[in-house]
Amino acid sequence: MVDVNQLVQLCAVDNNLFCTTFFPKACRQTPAPFHTDIWKHLDDNSKRYINLICFRDSAKTTLLRMFTGKRVAFNLSKTILYVGASEAHAARSIRWLRART
């Protein structure tokens, strides 16, 4: 059995473990291989802005919501701005995160 502190430390370095541990309803399937590449770009702290162009149904919104959750959980970001097609779309992601805490 894994200790809670060990689990948190493992989740800090393993994105898929973080997602399946803290967002089990959103991560019901094995992640697609290209999700590793997306996480690599998201975790790259040398770039302030990144632009990802992904195909439809590639879990863009879900991955970014979980990325935001990780940044908040490990106190890596002070301010996170959601930009969407409208204010309502952006607010929906914030509500999704708040419902899972």
For residue 76, the enclosing domain spans 4-99
Can you give the C-alpha Rg of the chain in angstroms?
A: 14
Q: Provide the number of structural domains found in the chain.
A: 1
pLDDT given at position 39: 96
Greatest distance between any 2 Cα atoms in the chain: 45
Q: What is the mean pLDDT of residues 25-43?
A: 93
Q: Which of 77, 100, 84, 93 is nearest to 19 (CA)?
A: 100
> Would you say residue 83 has pLDDT above 80?
yes
Identify whether the C-beta of residue 43 lies closer than 8 Å to the C-beta of residue 15: yes
* 101 contact partners, CB below 8 Å, separation of at least 6: none
> Would you say residue 58 has pLDDT above 90?
yes
pLDDT given at position 7: 94
Enter the pTM of the model. 0.88
> Would you say residue 101 has pLDDT above 80?
no
